[in-house]
Amino acid sequence: MQIDRPDRKKTRLLEPDPKEIWRYCGYGINVPDEDELSRIENTKEQLLDAVEPCCVWECCDLLFGEDDLLSFGGLSVRSRSLSKVLQGCSAVIMLASTLGLAPDRMIARAKITSLGTALRLQAVSAALIEAYLDRFTEELRALPSFSGTVFRPRFSPGYGDLPLTLQKELLPRLRAQQTVGITLNDSLLMMPSKSVTALIGVERCLTDTEIS
Amino acid sequence: MKITDLLGKQRLIADGGTGTWLQTRGLVPGELPDLWNLTHPEELIALHSAYIEAGANMLTTNTFGANPLRITDDLEKITEAGVLNACKAREMSGRENVFVGLDIGPSGHLLRPMGDLDFEEAVNAFGRVIRSGAPYADYIMIETMSDSLEAKAAVLAAKENCDLPVFITLIFDGSGKLLTGGTPASSAIMLEGLGVDAVGVNCGLGPDGLLPAVEEMLRTVSIPVIANPNAGLPSVEDGRTVYKVTPEEFAQEMRKIAEAGASVVGGCCGTTPVYIRALSETVSSIPFHRPSPEKKTVLGSFCSVLSPEDKPLLIGERINPTGKKRLQEALRAGDTDYILSEAIRQEEAGAQILDVNVGLPGIDEAGFMRKAVTLLQSVTTLPLQLDSSDPEALEAGLRVYNGKALINSVNGKEEVMRSVFPLVKKYGGLVVALPLDENGIPETAEGRIAIAQKIIARAEEYGIPRTDIVLDGLAMTVSADQRMADTALRVIRCARKELGLHTILGVSNISFGLPCRPILNGTFFTMALTEGLSFGIINPCSEEMMQPYRAFCALMGYDRDCADYIAYYKDRKMTAAPSSAPAEPGSAAAAGDTEAHSALSDAILRGLAGPAAEEAKKLLAFEEPMRLIEEELVPALDIVGRKYEEGTLYLPQLLRSAEAAQAAFALIREKIPQGSAKKGRVLIATVEGDIHDIGKNIVKVLLENYSYDVLDLGKDVPPEVIAETAVRENIKLVGLSALMTTTVTAMEKTIQELRRLKPETKIVVGGAVLTEAYAKTIGADAYAKDGMATVRYADSVFGN
């Protein structure tokens, strides 16, 4: 398995999707007023100075079995939704990523001083982990070892019929506690809370020769 | 020969990784290595033998994952077998100076309050493993701890379940921090205080990556330091994780760690017997030395270390119920949020340490101290002073304190020394010594110094060094005896110069009973600082106390380049009476126009907390508090609420208005006779297993703004606690929150329990995963899609 751990300079370049932030803040498809936009911007700056994004990942061969059984990296799971997403793939990337405990600490404090700030921290950090993973996935895709492949969209435990209980095997498999500091509580909630586990299907593109 | 006969006197070689080796022997990824203790003992014996051959003195057992939270079957057998396999290898080798360490790895859970594992549950889980393996082992090896609080739980479990030496290593990331924010220094001083025999680092990085952490520990503590790095960073080749650093490269990099003074060197992930042989051969030519840094007076939180040797320090005194009606109310009601808000307020005002005193007749002081310390550590990084005359309360706080605390206090009475010193010895800490004894408080400085010497001597019998003692000068009011200021100052002077002790004062005690106390307090504080006072217990929110402190630090060079002084005062003007912090930019007060937002309602509508509070204060001078609530606050909130429900105003704006109303309400409630003006009482909680509570807290703020009394049980609350509280407090309406599909089952159980015990109680539920239909299915009376809907439902239940 490998670990990605961008430094502060690279972390500060992350650009969370503003529309996602507004949605998490309860604006739906509307745009916040100037005041709120300014507050959101301040929150984003505070988080960019504090978060420590990292990701542990491993690429494994993927085997399809009967009745939507999928096997990869020593794990097995039955899921129609995941089977559909991974159809045509020969490998799967397992990953676990987190922003670290900083957002949780900041939110815990803000819950005491200002719930509005807590809400903003929650919204921005949720968008931030997605932004980190989007960038990380692009970088992964650009690696020489993945040349000639196409990645499927990220699919996480809890999506469709992929059971959340898969976390109990996926996290230890990636040694997530030792490598990136993610633990799982009895309700299958990850801590730090701004953590994501996901599977990315890897489809090998046919070469021109193969096509002809 | 015991390991402690050699530890710190010669360099010891620890073994290397286990998982790496077992994978070459057939362990599949994801399989728990610990199970091989029973299924493949010969492989483990072979591995341990190979490490002995390679030169290792210290073998760690294959029990890294053995924890009742992870292994439910045959835990004791697996643990015992793990230790016995290592003992067998030692026996077969016939070598001397080979020691077997019972390996204790992390539990896999994060401790409360950030996680869900209770501290004592963690101690018990580790304790179970230790009781199984310790009878056959030579030492306890706690490793790969990424959280200093969990490390503490494991150390206490070791100390409370066996007499073996305890070694512990932690895992730091590339920025030199633990997952939970601790530094090598902050964690090492805590662990040294707990009495571990050696502390160090393992895993995460290779030798070069861990060198800074090793050096920081060597500079900080005088106990032996351990270094067990990985064989560099992992990469993947042909689907397998490999460590590219060769044994020779590893050994060469470890030279620097050995030269720095580590007492134990070994390896972790990626290292095998070949690496350990190379290491052993390489470092054998390096003379052993162990740095012994000068002992300093330090205290720390989970992530910081402070010393009065760097500058005098401020202890915020506000979390102490003496003379504080609001805090007393909060303690009786179990309102921890108020305590946390006082902590944050003091921190923002400049306190560097926070006093925590929750002693009040009629409350469970030990229980509350435990809760307060646990929660405070989630919102502030400041070290704490645990302040109680009840040793049980002190111990309750010390046990869960994540760092090295200030302990207030011990004194010269035999009974008190006998009850407090053992706690200081067991948990570590700086202890405040009051120079009084069975004969009372000496009137003279000489008398107090004599008692101080007695306390120091007794402390040394317990193995507590004088660097861990802070002498209280005992500031007593000059209104009763005008010699008291001079006496206290002489004690300060003498303590520093003649006894080498740091000192502390409860500064404001000096002026009790006199008018314009701030003048005396500020002056006395300056005098004490000039005499060398180390810790001042003050109100940091009082500018009269902060001015002398900032000035003193600037004048004496503690505030380098007067940077803090300039930053604080550059935009402030001198006034006749010291004013509080300037108003927020953009607010009416900052513009100097107090009429611009004169309407209280206007401030609430615009979500301006500062002006709302200002306006409420002005109006309370001549208006009835209930009129303000009924004719200003509630109508303004109704407008805001309606706009929110119509979708023309959004949640952040709703919250700002709610917080503005709360700011006004905080002042209004002080004028309302207790027990009146409440529309009803609502119990709210986030259900068991769920720690999401922002939504619940929003509901609480809105209900309180609408004059409901809210009993908030917090998050992750078991069904029986909710139901029993509802019965005991005769609750008419319960609000339950759950945000995860995995926790709505707990919501259903809670509803069933409530129906069983108090069927007439109404239940409203909310949370992202809930719907109206599902709420009906699980037996709730109502579903509220947001906070305003909950308020409307409460109105319908209470007939408002």
d(CA B194, CA B190): 6
User: How does residue A209 score in pLDDT terms, banded at 50, 70 and 90?
Assistant: low
Rounded Cα–Cα distance for residues B136 and B92 (Å): 16
| pLDDT computed for residue B577 by the predictor | 47
pLDDT at residue B584, as a whole number = 37
**Whole-angstrom distance, CA of residue B557 vs CA of residue B451:** 33
Nearest neighbour of B29 by CB, restricted to A59, A73, A119? A73
**Does A101 sit within 8 Å of B180, measured CB to CB?**
yes
Distance in angstroms (rounded) separating the CA atoms of residues B800 and B793:
10
Looking at the DSSP bridge assignments, the partners of residue A191 are: A183
Nearest chain A residue to B27, by CA: A74
pLDDT at B39 over 80: yes
How do residues B431-471 score in pLDDT, each as one tens digit?
Answer: 999 999 999 999 999 999 999 999 999 999 999 999 999 99
Helices marked H in B94-139 — which ranges?
A: 119-133
Cβ atoms B579, B543 nearer than 8 A: yes
| Token couple for A52 | 């420590």
Instruction: Please provide the average confidence, as pLDDT, over all residues in chain B.
Output: 91
Interchain pair B379, A183: CB under 8 A = no
Tell me if B179 and A101 make a contact (CB, 8 A cut-off): yes
Chain A stretch 90-149, residues whose beta carbon is closer than 8 A to a beta carbon of chain B: 100-101, 104-105, 107-109, 111-116, 118-120, 122
The answer, yes or no, to whether residue B676 has pLDDT greater than 60, is no
The string of pLDDT tens digits covering residues B101-127 is 999 999 999 998 888 899 999 999 999
- Asked if residue B557 lies in contact with residue B312, where contact means CB atoms within 8 angstroms, the answer is no
Q: Are A121 and A21 in contact (CB under 8 A)?
A: no
How confident is the model over B625-655, as pLDDT tens digits?
878 887 888 888 888 888 888 888 888 888 8
Query: Which chain B residue has the Cα nearest residue A3?
Result: B234
Closest residue, chain A, to B178 (C-alpha): A181
Residue B796 tokens, joined: 């319908």
Report the C-alpha gap between B322 and A8 in whole angstroms.
Answer: 46
Q: Which of B203, B698, B743 is opposite residue A115, by nearest beta carbon?
A: B698
Both structure tokens of B84: 């016995």
- Inspect the interface and report whether the beta carbons of B651 and A36 lie closer than 8 Å: no
Spatial distance between the Cα atoms of A4 and B742, rounded to a whole number of angstroms: 30
Chain A residues within 8 A of B740 when measuring between CB atoms: 187-189
Predicted local confidence at residue B238, as pLDDT = 59
Which chain B residues are closer than 8 Å to A61 by Cβ? 239
| B652–A118 CB contact, under 8 Å | no
* Chain A residue with the nearest C-alpha to that of B19: A175
Whole-number Å distance between alpha carbons of B523 and B520 = 5
Question: Are A100 and B179 in contact, with CB atoms under 8 Å apart?
Answer: yes
Q: Which residues of B touch A54 (CB under 8 A)?
A: 173
User: In chain A, how long is the greatest CA-to-CA distance?
Assistant: 66
pLDDT above 90 coverage of chain B, percent = 71
DSSP string, B734-764: EEEE--STTTHHHHHHHHHHHHHH-TTSEEE
How far is the C-alpha of B23 from the C-alpha of B452, rounded, in Å? 60
Cβ contact (<8 Å) for B110 and A185?
yes
- Distances in whole angstroms, Cα of residue B136 to Cα of each of A55, B56, B139: 39, 19, 9
The beta-carbon neighbor of A112 closest among B109, B116, B341 is B341
Name the amino acid, one letter, at B307.
Answer: S
Of A109, A178, A187, nearest to B740 by CB-CB distance is A187
Query: Which stretch of DSSP H or E encloses residue A96?
Result: strand A91-98
Chain A CB contacts of B379 below 8 Å: 105, 108-109, 112
> Å from A66 to nearest chain B CA?
23
Element (H, E) at B12: strand B12-13
Q: What is the pTM of this model?
A: 0.89
Q: What integer pLDDT is reported at residue B589 of this predicted model?
A: 27
Place of tokens 């007439």: B760
Tell me if chain B has a CB within 8 Å of the CB of A191.
Answer: yes
ipTM: 0.89
For residue B695, pLDDT beyond 90? no
Q: Per residue in A183-202, is it b (16+ CB within 10 Å) or e — as a string?
A: bbbebbbbbbbbbbbbbbbb
State the number of CA atoms in the 13 A half-sphere of B748 facing the CB: 12
- Considering chain B, what percentage of its residues have pLDDT values greater than 70? 96
Which residues partner with A54 through β-bridges?
A98
Give me the residues paired with residue B386 across strands.
Answer: B356, B407
In this structure, are residues B427 and B399 in contact, taking their beta carbons and an 8 Å threshold? yes
Model confidence band, residue B597 (pLDDT cutoffs 50, 70, 90): very low
- Is the preceding peptide bond at B165 cis, omega within 30 degrees of 0? no
Please give the pLDDT value at position B533: 97
Go through chain B and tell me how many residues it has.
800
pLDDT at B588: 25
Burial of B400 per CB tally in 10 Å (0-12, 13-18, 19+): buried
A 34-93 residues inside an 8 A Cβ radius of B: 36, 39, 52, 54, 58-61, 73-75
Q: Band of the pLDDT at B745, cuts 50, 70, 90?
A: confident
On the question of pLDDT at A131 being above 70, the answer is: yes
Closest by Cα among B92, B54, B79, B188 to B140? B79
B146, B174, B658: residue with CB nearest A5:
B174
Nearest neighbour of B116 by CB, restricted to A1, A36, A185 = A185
Expressed in angstroms, the distance from the first to the final Cα of chain B is 79
Read off the amino acid at residue B317: E
Q: What are the pLDDT digits (tens) for B396-409?
A: 999 999 999 999 99
Mean pLDDT of the region B257-271: 96
Identify the band that residue B325 occupies on the pLDDT scale cut at 50, 70 and 90.
confident
Write out the H or E segment, with its range, that includes residue B766.
Answer: strand B762-766
Q: Are strands B234-237 and B58-60 parallel, antiparallel or unpaired?
A: unpaired
The C-alpha of A84 sits at a distance from chain B's nearest C-alpha, in angstroms, of: 23
> For chain B, what is the radius of gyration of the CA atoms?
30
Closest CA to B222 of B244, B243, B191: B191
**Confidence category of residue B80, pLDDT binned at 50, 70, 90:** very high
B595: pLDDT strictly greater than 50:
no
Size of interface A-B (CB pairs under 8 A): 148
Q: Which chain B residues are closer than 8 Å to A1 by Cβ?
A: 234, 236, 241
Q: pLDDT tens-digit profile of A108-123?
A: 999 999 999 999 999 9
Residues of chain A with Cβ-Cβ distance to B238 below 8 Å are: none
* Confidence category of residue B719, pLDDT binned at 50, 70, 90: very high
- pLDDT band for position B658 (50/70/90)? confident
Is residue B591 over pLDDT 70?
no
Tell me the nearest-neighbour CA distance from B301 into chain A, angstroms: 14
Check CB contact under 8 Å for B337 and A112. yes
Asked if residue A199 has pLDDT above 50, the reply is yes
CB within 8 Å: B694 and A119: yes
Q: Is A189 on the interface with B (CB under 8 A)?
A: yes
- Which of B135, B56, B62, B48 lies closest to B92, judged by CA? B48
Is B651 in Cβ contact with A119 (below 8 Å)? yes
User: B1 to chain A nearest CA, in Å?
Assistant: 34
CA distance B72 to chain A (A): 15
Distances B38 to B27, B44, B76, B468, B780 between C-alpha atoms, Å: 14, 10, 11, 47, 50
Residue with tokens 């500064």: B507
Q: What is the pLDDT at residue A145?
A: 87
Distance of CA B708 to the CA centre of its chain: 32
Q: In sequence order, what are the residues at sequence separation of 6 or more whose Cβ sits closer than 8 angstroms to the Cβ of residue B8?
A: B198, B223, B224, B263, B290
User: How many C-beta atoms surround the C-beta of residue B6 within 10 A?
Assistant: 16
Torsion of Cα atoms, B315 then B321 then B325 then B327, to 10°: 70
Q: Are the beta carbons of A101 and B337 separated by less than 8 Å? A: no
Put simply, the answer to whether A187 touches B116 (Cβ < 8 Å) is yes
Instruction: Chain A: give the shortest CA distance to residue B322, in Å.
Output: 23
Contact in structure between B90 and B48 (CB atoms under 8 Å): yes
Residue numbers in B near A186 (CB within 8 A): 116, 689
Cα distance between residue B225 and residue B143, in whole Å: 13
pLDDT of residue B677: 59
Who's near B653: CB < 8 A, 6+ residues apart? A33, A36, B607, B640, B644
Tell whether the model's pLDDT for residue B92 goes beyond 90.
yes
Query: Are A178 and B204 in contact (CB < 8 Å)?
Result: yes
Is the Cβ–Cβ distance between B269 and B234 less than 8 Å? yes
B647: chain A residues, CB-CB within 8 Å: 28
- Asked if B693's CB is within 8 angstroms of A111's CB, the reply is yes
**What CA–CA distance (Å, rounded) separates B240 from A141?**
19
Q: Is A165 on the interface with B (CB under 8 A)?
A: no
Searching chain B, which residue's CA lies closest to the CA of residue A171?
B30
Chain A residues with CB-CB distance to B693 below 8 A: 111
Cβ distance B652 to A25 less than 8 Å, yes or no, reads yes
Q: Could you tell me how many helices (H) and strands (E) chain B has, helices first? A: 31, 25
Q: Which of A105, A109, A192 lies closest to B344 in CB terms? A: A109
First-last CA distance in chain A: 36
Hey, what are B227's tokens? 């270094």
Token pair, residue B79, equals 């643990």
Q: Which residues, at least 6 apart from A85, have a Cβ–Cβ distance to it below 8 Å? A: A152, A153, A155, A201
The first and second tokens of residue A196, run together, are 């994501």
B300 pairs with which residues across the strands? B305, B404
B374-430 pLDDT per residue, tens? 999 999 999 999 999 999 999 999 999 999 999 999 999 999 999 999 999 999 999
| Cross-strand pairs, B440 | B437
pLDDT score at B239: 54
Task: Copy the structure tokens of residue B590.
Answer: 């900052």
* pLDDT (mean) for B4-17: 96
B174, B204, B236 member nearest A1 (Cβ): B236
